[in-house]
Amino acid sequence: MSAPKRKALGRGLAALIPSAPVPTAAAPPAAARRALDGTRTISVEEIHPSPGQPRTVFDGARLDELAASIKTQGIIQPLIVRLRAAGGYELIAGERRWRAAQRAGLHEVPAVVRDVAPTQAFEMALVENLQREDLNPLEEAAGYERLVSEFGYTQEQLSERVGKDRSTVANALRLLRLPASVRDLLAGGKLSMGQARALLGLETPAAIERLARQAIARELSVRRVEELVRRERAGKPEPPSTSAPAPSASARDLGLRLTRTFGTRVEVLEKGAGRGQIAIHYHSLDQLDALLEKLQPS
């Protein structure tokens, strides 16, 4: 059942998690026979999202982009579904495509119907999102935690199933120990995964929250956060700051106006003699894309 650690994701879902064989003791009912026919066209109204979908955040702007692409090109990669006991089909993989198809006005979508158990269905949904790097760090960690707690996987088994190193899985699971407020900062892209992992070296939730706020406000690197964590654990105070002089009133005013224009923090850094720099901060790739659209209008 297990696949090589580094090659699993590249082999595709069908190779990683094969379908269960069709029972031969008795002919399946008509609905089951239809469901096992493989690829078919299914009404979007017959498809229902899985309550166990690992991905919980769907960016509206990206869904609109995907919907525009679907209007022009159609759905190139079919959805993967399974039969629902209550009727219709349950999504295993492709919820973004299903949502975008509805925005595009499609009434039917191509889908591959698979006869798989709930455990396999959840694995397939998790692996598909990991292949596309669609999950934020906490969604990934929550998916791993569910496979461990609900389905009894060890970390070693889990690393084999999803094609990730055991250390990667272990580090992801550790993120769930962060305080809720810090998990929100990580999910929102304000805190990086490296910074979050470093913060786990602190002993109390209050200390983690305090240093997380500092890391964001001062835009600290992962190495700097690690250094501050080591100092705090050793009981050593942070050395005096050697920050640059405060900006002039005109530089602050210009920075505020640019911040309002771009919707993110902008700093005007004065170098003297009429020279300087403008620093535009972003906290996610989506925010960077939005900034580039403003800076490079078509």
Positions marked active-site: 95
Six-digit token pair at 190? 């304000």
What are the phi and psi torsion angles at 45 (to 5°)?
-75, -20
Six-digit token pair at 158? 């889990």
User: Rounded CA gap, 162 and 294, in Å?
Assistant: 39
Do residues 193 and 175 touch, judged by C-beta distance below 8 A?
Answer: yes
User: Rounded CA gap, 103 and 119, in Å?
Assistant: 30
User: Rounded CA gap, 163 and 169, in Å?
Assistant: 10
Beta strand 108-113 with 39-43 is antiparallel
Q: Which amino acid is at 1?
A: M
Q: How many C-beta atoms lie closer than 10 Å to residue 7's C-beta?
A: 11
Q: Quick one: CA torsion of 103, 108, 114, 116, rounded to 10 degrees?
A: 50
Six-digit token pair at 188? 């929102």
Do residues 181 and 209 touch, judged by C-beta distance below 8 A?
Answer: yes
Report the run of H or E that residue 279 belongs to, with start and end. strand 275-280
